[in-house]
Amino acid sequence: MKLALVGATGMVGEVMMKVLDERNFPIDELLLVASEKSVGKEISFKGKNHKVIGLEEAVAARPNIALFSADGNTSLEWAPRFAEVGTTVIDNSSAWRMEPDKKLIVPEINAHLLTREDKIIANPNCSTIQLVMALAPLHKKYKMKRVVVSTYQSVSGTGLKAVQQMENEMAGGKGEMAYPYPIHKNALPHCDVFEANGYTKEEMKLAREPQKILDDRTFSVTATAVRIPTAGGHSEAVNVQFENDFELGDVRKILHETPGITVQDNPDTNTYPMPMYAHDKDEVFVGRIRRDESQPNTLNMWIVSDNLRKGAATNAVQIAEYLVNNKLV
């Protein structure tokens, strides 16, 4: 198995290498790929040094799989180039997610849709992944009507520059700004860029992507996405109105039995999900499960996950594992 990792020097790229190592993904040859300024740099993987190469060289090497953790423009330009030489691309950017002929995959939910013909596969948005992981089994049982989600998102979702901004501000220093305002001791209701309808791009990803992943346009999602000064993971306050009523015990049981979900829900012992405990873990943690007493058939819950792992790197590697295990590459 020849695997290329595009964007190997970025935050998600580094986590992808860690996940590939931890999960012992079968690699005969690893190609670490980055922008021209990083070419020639050496990076260690499984105790062996690998020289970073450029995109042209990586395409010429015809890898079986390319994990893309680059910006959308790079993906738009280079993913088709890899696909043309027979490489299956798993792309972490937003570039291909809503393209009608590209599949948007969360392995636990819809990996069964993948075929050998799928040469560019989209990895969903980080906050979408943890949301649909919890919603999918409940939708199957009770049928969702409307979802209201407010997110509390880690600075690591923006990238290294944002993490450095927060650390600079915490230390009382000044430096390059990733955000239009300070993030330390602050909350910015502004994730990604604003669109014409007044929502941010992040909020519209949360509105559109779950419908595509669950292949169902009969429910709606509305979102408010907020950046907060934490680095361990994204948190979401989620309100779901179902067509059918539910028992809280059954909801907990369904979530508890769902692979990839860990229920942490005991108010008596102050047990609930938090980013500091989700950090560096692959599970999606769900807690604060309670009935919305203001209207029928409606549930409140709190969902937390490490945005760089299940929200990005782990999900992409799980897709690659599915392709290998089912002989689709």
> Do 67 and 185 fall within a single domain?
no
> Do 170 and 295 fall within a single domain?
yes
Give pLDDT, residue 136. Answer: 98
Q: Which of 50, 139, 234, 279 is catalytic?
A: 234
* Residue-averaged pLDDT of the chain: 97
HSE on the CB side for 227, CA within 13 Å? 23
Q: Domain with 215 in it: what CATH number?
A: 3.30.360.10
Chain Cα centroid distance, residue 55 = 24
Give pLDDT, residue 210. Answer: 98
Is 126 annotated as catalytic?
Answer: yes
Tell me the pLDDT tens digit for each residue of 261-273: 999 999 999 999 9
> Do 48 and 93 fall within a single domain?
yes
Give pLDDT, residue 231. Answer: 87
Q: How many CB atoms lie within 10 A of CB 119?
A: 18
> Do 53 and 83 fall within a single domain?
yes
Tell me the pLDDT tens digit for each residue of 281-312: 999 999 999 999 999 999 999 999 999 999 99
* Mean pLDDT confidence for 316-320: 98
> Do 115 and 197 fall within a single domain?
no
Q: How far apart are CA 103 and CA 112, in angstroms?
A: 11
> Is the pLDDT at 36 greater than 90, yes or no?
no
Alpha helix ranges (H) inside 42-143: 55-60, 72-84, 107-110, 126-142
> Do 288 and 157 fall within a single domain?
yes
- The residue type at 68: F
Give pLDDT, residue 297. Answer: 98
> Do 149 and 297 fall within a single domain?
yes
User: pLDDT tier at 323 (50, 70, 90 boundaries)?
Assistant: very high
HSE on the CB side for 163, CA within 13 Å? 11
> Do 285 and 261 fall within a single domain?
yes
> Is the pLDDT at 135 greater than 90, yes or no?
yes
* Mean pLDDT confidence for 217-222: 98
Please state, for a pLDDT cut of 70, what percent of the chain lies above it: 100
What global pTM score does this model have? 0.96
> Do 197 and 270 fall within a single domain?
yes
Tell me the pLDDT tens digit for each residue of 47-64: 999 999 999 999 999 999
Is 191 annotated as catalytic?
Answer: no
Q: How many CB atoms lie within 10 A of CB 189?
A: 11
Give pLDDT, residue 327. Answer: 97
Per the structure, how many domains does the chain have? 2
Q: Which of 50, 126, 139, 191 is catalytic?
A: 126
> Do 148 and 105 fall within a single domain?
no
Find where tokens 């392995």 sit. 107
Residue 269 belongs to what domain range? 127-307
Q: Domain with 34 in it: what CATH number?
A: 3.40.50.720
> Do 170 and 240 fall within a single domain?
yes
Q: How far apart are CA 268 and CA 2, in angstroms?
A: 51
User: pLDDT tier at 232 (50, 70, 90 boundaries)?
Assistant: confident
Checking phi first, is residue 76 left (phi over 0); if not, alpha (psi -120 to 50) or beta?
Answer: alpha
Q: How many CB atoms lie within 10 A of CB 180?
A: 7
> Do 169 and 73 fall within a single domain?
no
